[in-house]
Amino acid sequence: MAYHITLITNQSGTLAANLNPKASRDDALIANGAKFVPERPIKINKGVAGTYATAFSFANLMFDNSWIALWDNGNDGINYITPAMQFPQQVYTGPASNVVVALNANGAPTITKAAN
C-alpha cells in the first residue's frame, strides 16, 4: 500500500503549488487560505534521499515560499526536505494510508491521517 494525499490546505500566506514529477495530472496551484481536494488521491512517491538535490528528482514537490520535497521513506513514514535543510526530517509516522497535508506559515508541512 502507498500513502495518498486526499486534501492539501494552504496556510502559508502565499500562493502554493503541488507538483509531481511522476504524474503531472497531480499538479495544482492552491490559493492562500484555500483547500485543494484532488479529483483522485495523489500518491506520495517512494524513494531514498539524503539531500534536497536527490529528493528533487523523484519526490512530490510543494511550493510555499520555498520548495518542499516530500516522499515515502519505505519505513512507515513520510520525509521532507527543503533547500535550506542539511538533512531530511520525518514529518509523519504511521502505516501507509490516506493523508492530509497542511502547508504552514513557517514553511514546514504538517501531515495527518485522513478521516476516510
Residue 116 is predicted with a pLDDT of 66
Q: Tell me the average confidence (pLDDT) per consecutive run of 10 residues in the chain, 116 residues long.
A: 94 89 89 93 96 94 88 97 94 97 86 90
Q: Which of 98, 95, 89 is nearest to 71 (CA)?
A: 89
Q: Would you kindly state where each structural domain of the chain is located, as residue ranges?
A: 4-113
Residue 3 is predicted with a pLDDT of 97
Residues 6+ apart with CB under 8 A from 11: 33, 102, 103, 104, 105
Mean pLDDT of the chain: 92
Residue 101 is predicted with a pLDDT of 96
